[in-house]
Amino acid sequence: MRVLLTGGAGFIGQHVRTQLLAEGHNPVVFDSLRPDVHITPPAIDLTVGDIRDPDAVAAALEGVDVVIHLAAKVGLGVDLDDIDDYVSSNSLGTAVLLKQLAHSKVRNLVYASSMVVYGEGRYECDRHGLVAPGPRRTEDLDAGRFEPPCPICGEQLRPGLVDETAPADPRNTYATTKLNGEHLASTWARETGGRVAALRFHNVYGPGMPRNTPYAGVASLFRSALARGEAPRVYEDGGQRRDFIHVHDIATAVTTAATTVQDAPAFTAYNVGSGTVHTIADLATELATALNGPKPVVTGQYRLGDVRHITASSQRLRDTLGWKPTYDLATGIADLVTR
């Protein structure tokens, strides 16, 4: 199978490329090598091009059976000065790809989405059942009240696992562009008879993570601090719940989706996580211990675009495609620090 892999020179992309090769496929890597992702360009064969360039995309699609679309500007960003770059890189980039797909014979697409499309996760109130907390208020965060209250009675909520039927509620620019990409891909599928698997990645970590960039994930930021001999700085109280998934497990989920998407419905979203809930403080502690570094420092600082808890069930992916993760947090961190 010949696979166009956009963003294939990035952190996740390189692992997906390796997995495709291991499974006997022919990946065609297309990447812009943007400097906020690629500190050092990888030593692999690739086509350097911008996903927003229709001619470059059209040329890359020749002879392709399926597209895996990973190319994106990632992370929470710095501030609203990033908003146009996110929309251009992610929303416009995806639109250009879909337009060229519509003019090609390719009808199979795996789209890299994110758990951030949900915003806050699933919450239940003892009195009012399933509820959706409103936007976090700066006055609460300034006072150290990090847990979102019930929007009806103000009582404490119980966080749980989100499934793919939950409504989307993106709460930062990156999240909004990822959801926009899903909507565009769904439109393309309806109008062309195409097939889309949208994979909502959870917090990805592993060998090759980008470092020393404000767009990196939290695991990368903690590891960079430890490499400098500094303590990881944990925002809020460290109790934020997340699902940390090793990049190898992400890669196998992507290749599984790529080889089955032609037999799937027009558009299907899948959560991709390890299935185990950990806190941000758990991650910082595991990394600090593995690297013999200083203990994490809980700062009480916050970023308004962050959410408190977001963990999801990946049961649909397990049941429908037979995928399952192979790393827990301890074995994943051990693999990260030894490579």
CATH of the domain at 293: 3.40.50.720
Residue 144 — left, alpha, or beta (φ > 0 → left; ψ -120 to 50 → alpha)?
left
For the chain, what is the domain count?
1
- Least Cα distance to 38 among 59, 12, 58, 77 occurs for 12
pTM of the full predicted structure? 0.94
Range of the domain at 37: 2-337
pLDDT of residue 89: 96
pLDDT of residue 34: 85
List the structure tokens of 236.
Answer: 């809020």
pLDDT of residue 107: 98
Name the 3-class secondary structure at 178. helix
pLDDT of residue 171: 86
pLDDT of residue 71: 97
User: How many Å apart are CA 307 and CA 322, to the nearest integer?
Assistant: 30
User: How many Å apart are CA 268 and CA 186, to the nearest integer?
Assistant: 9
Tokens 């690629």 sit on residue: 38
- Measured over the CA atoms of residue 277, residue 279, residue 282 and residue 287, the dihedral's sign is positive
pLDDT of residue 214: 58
- Least Cα distance to 202 among 241, 160, 258, 147 occurs for 241
pLDDT of residue 209: 85
pLDDT of residue 72: 95
Instruction: Please report, in tens digits, the pLDDT of each residue of the chain (339 residues total).
Output: 999 999 999 999 999 999 999 999 999 999 999 877 665 667 788 999 999 999 999 999 999 999 999 999 987 665 788 899 999 999 999 999 999 999 999 999 999 999 999 999 999 999 999 999 988 899 999 999 999 999 999 999 999 999 999 999 998 899 999 999 999 999 999 999 999 999 999 999 999 887 766 556 789 889 999 999 999 999 999 999 999 999 999 999 999 999 999 999 999 999 999 999 999 999 999 999 999 999 999 999 998 878 899 998 999 999 999 999 999 999 999 999 887
User: How many Å apart are CA 57 and CA 93, to the nearest integer?
Assistant: 10
List the structure tokens of 306.
Answer: 């962050």
List the structure tokens of 245.
Answer: 């998934």
